[in-house]
Chain A
């Protein structure tokens, strides 16, 4: 238990009380004294005597000086140190708010709504501008193909595609198992277990392979794009690029977008295939459909247009995930908290837009006869 600084009161002769402070006037022992000062209701104070007090620091000096100022009291018995400290801090009292003031709720809510609407509007404008910039720099790159940065592109191919093979393969394999196993349980009720092959094959190729891959790529690469580009913005690397004459669009964003678009096509197809293998394995083990029979049945029951559907969807999903990541990264300003916020947004927006478009594609392709 600590020794707290304290004081005793002498009722003076009419002019007010005399407070004699005791103990060390240090930040570690001032709390009791400070609270008693704040709750002081003993009327006028004429004198504060420091001669009985121990060591002093600026917090002690401040506490004593503030009380003396508020009660118009004299400070006596100061050591040299106390005098110096009081002189050092007495002119530095301030009134500024420590934390930003919160406006009342009636003001805050409409303000928040307004800000949100405005930022949505601005966001749309900025996004359109960003898309325009991407198209423009694609145009220049097509006109001057030598400006393509192949090192950056292949590096991104590796990061987005090759290093994702393991996790996406494992995920797809497990999904294939789940579809086949759960499908078989339901189909068995109709004695139609053989249709497990149709279910697994069509679902894996047409829907889940691409969709799950897009979600995984959004989590792996979309977030990485936003965080990398955002950090580069904070550390002024992007400004440095511009001054050197390197377009951040060409050096950072186009390689990433190309990587994510091309790799999504390959990864999506790869994912479908692994899912089918997963389904075939579980069918072999639990349903009694031999592995090779499962695979040859797949060729018969999955129409070719399912593969076209998946090959159309994959690059579109990739583009969405990539644009969301790069766009949010480029919007980072100010502090490190923003990087985290924008990264979250990149993933959320990417996945959300992918699912919305997937619903659209499902209806669209059925309508055009690729059901």
Chain B
């Protein structure tokens, strides 16, 4: 190594944060065991169990008030559970109580319901925030380039990079939020109702984007949604929250066979049937036009959590 190079490495070392980013090799990036959440007298979760497999898109459904968002907030350490264990990347979520914990936080991205963009920063600056925070050694020019391509990768036009959140529509704000969530090339992505409030075309595009990114980047996605089309189109497995627990985690065809009144009503109601037939139509068309098999083989292996 030449002297110049050594000097460069030294300089970069000096600017970087002292943590060793790891890569998760286990099977379940998220493991929740016996989670109990209570607000006053109201029990939200009562000994809830859930496992999320690496590389899958797990849809989380449940009626309003069944604690989907609370579950997500518990996993990402914003909500202290009353009892139970939560492991993220094989490490206890209790470590997240330390606000300066960087290893786990540098490996996930979170998209909040309203986008939760910082309103005084442009979209580009929003994407740069996590980059600056975790990897201050990056050249500013590289950081700008990363912000630009992430914004476009999330389906926004180039001009959106220099706009403020207040100048964007609701759908664009969600995409900008996704760009920020993807800023660090995370292994784990949390999406809280990403398609709520989007028009059907925008929602379908967002679904496709999520699926594509998951396949290309090898993400694991924890996706809260009410959108039946999203569930049918892109989710590998679906976890159903009811009676303060996850009552089933399985691919939709298996869920349909379960004899739980809420599941039956949810998936076999008029909207559920419409979404299902939409999916079947699409598959029939794909099959007939290309002569290929199903585009995405359903994950029909067992289920975890009950």
Contact = CB atoms under 8 A, between A and B. Distances in A.
A36 B8 contact: yes
Contact of B23 (A32, A55, A81, A98): A55
B217 A98 contact: no
Nearest to A89: B149
Contact of A96 (B12, B13, B15, B162): B162
B152 interface: yes
A142 B145 CA distance: 63
A1 interface: yes
B216 A94 contact: no
Contacts of B162: 96-100
Find the residue from A28, A36, A58 having the highest chain B CB count within 10 A: A28
List 8 A-B pairs, minimum CB-CB distance, nearest first. A98-B124, A94-B148, A335-B119, A96-B161, A92-B152, A94-B158, A28-B21, A57-B185
B120 interface: yes
Contact of B185 (A32, A59, A336, A337): A59
A99 B8 contact: no
B139 A100 contact: no
Contacts of A26: 21, 185
Interface string B13-24: 101100011010
B141 interface: yes
B125 interface: yes
Given A96-B158, A335-B166, A35 B184 contact: no
Given A35-B12, A58-B149, A92-B148, 17 more contacts: A6-B5, A28-B106, A31-B142, A36-B5, A38-B139, A59-B142, A59-B146, A66-B145, A88-B153, A92-B152, A96-B148, A96-B159, A96-B160, A96-B162, A100-B162, A334-B119, A337-B119
B248 to A, nearest CB: 33
Contacts of A84: 216
B135 interface: yes
Interface in B153-188: 153, 158-162, 164-166, 184-185
A71 B146 CA distance: 19
B78 interface: no
B163 to A, nearest CB: 9
B235 interface: no
Contacts of A4: 9, 12
B141 A38 contact: yes
A2 interface: yes
Interface of B: 5, 8-9, 12-13, 15-16, 20-21, 23, 106, 119-120, 122, 124-125, 128, 131, 135, 137-139, 141-142, 144-153, 158-162, 164-166, 184-185, 212, 216-218
B112 to A, nearest CB: 15
B158 A98 contact: no
A57 B159 contact: no
Interface of A: 1-2, 4, 6, 26-32, 34-36, 38, 55, 57-59, 62-63, 66, 81, 84-85, 88-89, 92-100, 334-337
Nearest to A28: B21
B120 A32 contact: no
A336 to B, nearest CB: 6
A38 B137 CA distance: 14
8 contacts: A2-B16, A28-B106, A31-B137, A32-B12, A35-B139, A85-B217, A88-B153, A88-B212
A122 B5 CA distance: 59
B59 to A, nearest CB: 23
A97 B124 contact: yes
Given A31-B12, A98-B124, A63 B142 contact: yes
Contact of A1 (B13, B21, B139, B185): B13
A32 B166 CA distance: 37
A36 B9 CA distance: 10
A336 B165 CA distance: 11
Given A57-B185, A98-B125, A98-B162, A89 B120 contact: no
Contacts of A337: 119-120
Contact of A92 (B9, B125, B131, B153): B153
Given A2-B20, A31-B137, A335-B165, A57 B217 contact: yes
A116 to B, nearest CB: 20
Nearest to A98: B124
A103 to B, nearest CB: 14
Contacts of B217: 57-58, 85, 88
Nearest to B119: A335
A334 B23 CA distance: 41
A83 B113 CA distance: 33
B15 to A, nearest CB: 8
Given A4-B9, A26-B185, A98 B161 contact: yes
A64 to B, nearest CB: 12
B125 A94 contact: no
A99 B125 contact: yes
Nearest to A336: B119
A85 B216 CA distance: 7
A4 B13 CA distance: 9
Contacts of B218: 81
Nearest to B18: A1
A32 B152 CA distance: 26
Contacts of B119: 334-337
Contacts of A27: 131, 135, 138, 146, 184-185
B149 A62 contact: yes
A62 B145 contact: yes
A259 to B, nearest CB: 31
B138 A34 contact: yes
Given A26-B21, A36-B5, A334-B166, A96 B124 contact: yes
A31 B16 contact: yes
Contacts of A6: 5
